[in-house]
């Protein structure tokens, strides 16, 4: 059984931008064309200076429902940002746009946000042109140069890298729709809220709390482990599932009251919009802040990373090679880089600079959580099969 204490130690030093930026950029290196695509250097934006309570959305960001060609996907937060124009409404966005949009609308601290976008950019985006779809394959995001990922760039909905099994409101890919909100699954989550939730302005047992999150994750896991013969829950996905569910309390709650009420949380998941009169978190949501909740959920959940075997029995995954077996954080790090195509680590020019920047962002985050996890990795996994 893994230890989950790493989660409660999730901490990111406020690194100076210089610590995370890539090699020096010479002006002559900025125009580069490969396979007909123009490369774009990715730049890590600075932490926003205005970080207090703020009513969201502001007047410049009204809800507009997505059109038929707009990409939406498995992340309620990305869908909400796009529905309000905090990122491109067509769902095709960039590293910088998502990082800035998360800071503005959700008060996600810069380094935590950059870590999440970097992880998704190298598993589902095009790190050469700096474009990512918050849904599936799009004609607006070209394939990576040199066939690194095969004929298409998948989008964040690609199954088996960041997106995975035992989600709160999406079905396992083997079972059903792993991309869009599923009312029936959300209703099952709400049964746990009815049992464990706190009392609040909308009635008894209507406010999400830690026991509710634990019960939801236990239920998601138990149902899918039984119903999905291909059930897979590797370290990166276990860590992601705990991170995601904790966001209900740290990000979706009303920043003024810190309450995560049933009608408000439903709007984020079901309608992918902000409740009226909603305030973002009162201070930046760092990996430490969210890690305190995700760590507590993980400790109570107490399931090791693993997968079903041919008999449908859940079997723990073997530990990664040393030194990555020292902690859950380091195990997840190895697992995550191992799901990114190795071709990304064998490039030149702008793509090489971007991959080095994104890899260093991920590494800095993990090293902040577990300083002993001090060996930088570049992507070393297989190309996408789909």
CB of 126 to ligand HEM, least distance (A): 13
Which C-beta is closer to ligand NAG: that of 310 or that of 322? 322
CB of residue 374 to ligand HEM, shortest distance in Å: 25
Residues 171-210 interacting with ligand NAG (rule: CB under 6 A): 199, 201-202, 204
Nearer to ligand HEM, 42 or 251 (CB): 251
Could you say whether residue 193 binds ligand HEM (CB under 6 A)? Answer: no
**Nearest distance from C-beta of residue 17 to ligand NAG, angstroms:** 30
Segment lying near ligand HEM (by CB under 6 A), choices 13-21, 158-166, 305-313, 332-340: 158-166
Residue 346 binds ligand NAG (CB under 6 A): yes
Q: Answer yes or no whether residue 238 interacts with ligand HEM by CB under 6 A.
A: no
Closest CB to ligand NAG among residues 83, 138: 83
Site for ligand HEM in 117-146 (CB under 6 A): 117, 120
CA–CA dist 106, 30 (Å, integer): 32
Residue with tokens 């999730």, as numbered in its chain: 10
Residue nearest to ligand NAG (CB): 263
Q: Is 148 in the site for ligand HEM (CB under 6 A)?
A: no
Nearer to ligand HEM, 109 or 367 (CB): 109
Nearer residue to ligand NAG within complex by CB, 174 or 380? 380
- Tell me the C-alpha distance between 208 and 122, whole Å: 33
**130 CB neighbour count, 10 Å cutoff:** 20
Site string for ligand NAG, 326-345 (x = CB under 6 A): x-------------------
- Write the secondary structure of the chain as one string of H (helix), E (strand) and C (coil): CCCCHHHHCCCCCCCCHHHHCCCCCCHHHHCCEECCEECCCCCCCCCCCCCCCCEECCCCCCCCCCCCCCCCCCCHHHHHHHHCCCCCCCCEECHHHHHHHHHHHHCECHHHHHHHHHHHHHHHCECCCCEEECCCCCCCCCCCHHHECECCCCCCCCECCCECCCCCCCCCCCCCCCCCCCHHHHHHHHHHHHHHCEEECCEEEEECCHHHHHHHHHHHHHHHHHHCCCCEECHHHHHHHHHHHHHHHHCCCCCCCCCCEHHHHHHHHHHCCCCCCEECCCCCECHHHHHHHHHHHHHHHCCCCEEECCCCCEEECCCCCCCHHHCHHHHHHHHHHCCCEHHHHCCCHHHHHHHHHHHHHHHHHHHHHCCCCCCCCCCCECCCCC
Q: Which of 141, 215, 216, 251 binds ligand HEM (CB under 6 A)?
A: 251
**Contact partner at residue 143 from ligand HEM, ligand NAG, none, CB < 5 to 8 Å by partner kind:** none
In angstroms, rounded to a whole number, what is the distance separating the alpha carbons of residues 46 and 48? 6
Binding flags for ligand NAG, 307-326, as an x/- string (CB under 6 A): ------------x--x--xx
Which of 293, 345 has the CB closer to ligand NAG?
Answer: 345
Give the nearer residue to ligand NAG in terms of CB position, either 319 or 349. Answer: 319
Can residue 247 be called a binding residue for ligand HEM (CB under 6 A)?
yes
* Beta carbon nearer to ligand HEM, 110 or 170: 170
CA distance 95 to 103: 13
Is the CB of residue 127 less than 8 Å from the CB of residue 142?
Answer: no
76 binds, among ligand NAG, ligand HEM, none (CB under 5 to 8 A by kind): ligand HEM
CA 47 remoteness from chain centre: 19
Q: Does residue 98 touch ligand HEM according to CB under 6 A? A: yes
Which is closer to ligand NAG, CB of 213 or CB of 345? 345
Binding residues (CB under 6 A) for ligand NAG: these are 146, 199, 201-202, 204, 254, 256-257, 259, 261, 263-264, 267, 270-271, 275-279, 319, 322, 325-326, 346
Contact set with ligand HEM (CB under 6 A): 74-78, 98, 102, 106, 108, 116-117, 120, 156, 162-164, 167-170, 240, 244, 247, 251
């Amino acid at each position: 059984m893994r230890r989950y204490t790493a989660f409660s130690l999730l901490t990111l030093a406020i690194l100076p931008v210089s610590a995370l930026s890539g090699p020096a950029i010479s002006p002559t290196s900025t125009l580069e064309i490969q396979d007909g695509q123009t490369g774009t250097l990715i730049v890590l934006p600075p932490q926003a200076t205005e970080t207090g309570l703020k009513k969201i959305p502001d007047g410049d960001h009204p809800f507009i429902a997505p059109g038929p060609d707009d990409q939406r996907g498995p992340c309620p937060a990305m869908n909400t940002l796009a529905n309000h124009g905090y990122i491109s409404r067509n769902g095709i966005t960039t590293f910088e746009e998502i990082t800035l949009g998360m800071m503005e609308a959700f008060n996600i601290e810069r380094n935590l946000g950059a870590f999440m976008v970097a992880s998704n950019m190298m598993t589902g985006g095009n790190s050469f042109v700096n474009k990512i779809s918050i849904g599936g394959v799009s004609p607006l995001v070209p394939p990576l140069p040199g066939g690194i990922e095969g004929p298409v760039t998948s989008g964040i909905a690609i199954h088996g890298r960041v997106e995975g099994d035992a989600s709160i409101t999406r079905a396992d890919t083997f079972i059903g729709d792993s991309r869009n909100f599923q009312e029936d699954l959300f209703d099952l989550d709400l049964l746990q809220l009815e049992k464990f939730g706190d009392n609040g302005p909308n009635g008894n047992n209507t406010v999400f709390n830690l026991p509710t999150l634990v019960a939801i994750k236990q239920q998601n896991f138990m149902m899918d482990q039984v119903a999905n013969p291909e059930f897979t829950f590797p370290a990166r996905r276990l860590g992601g599932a705990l991170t995601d569910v904790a966001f209900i309390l740290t990000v979706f709650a009303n920043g003024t009251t810190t309450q995560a009420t049933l009608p408000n949380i439903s709007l984020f998941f079901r309608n992918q919009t902000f409740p009226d009169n909603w305030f973002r978190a009162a201070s930046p949501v760092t990996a430490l802040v969210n890690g305190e909740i995700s760590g507590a959920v993980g400790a109570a959940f107490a399931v090791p990373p693993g997968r079903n075997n041919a008999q449908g029995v859940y079997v723990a995954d073997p530990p990664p090679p040393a030194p990555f077996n020292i902690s859950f954080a380091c195990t997840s790090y190895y697992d995550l880089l191992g799901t990114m195509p190795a071709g990304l680590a064998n490039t030149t020019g702008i793509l090489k600079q971007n991959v080095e920047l994104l890899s260093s962002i991920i590494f800095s985050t993990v090293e902040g959580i577990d300083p002993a996890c001090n060996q930088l990795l570049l992507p070393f996994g297989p190309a996408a099969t789909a």
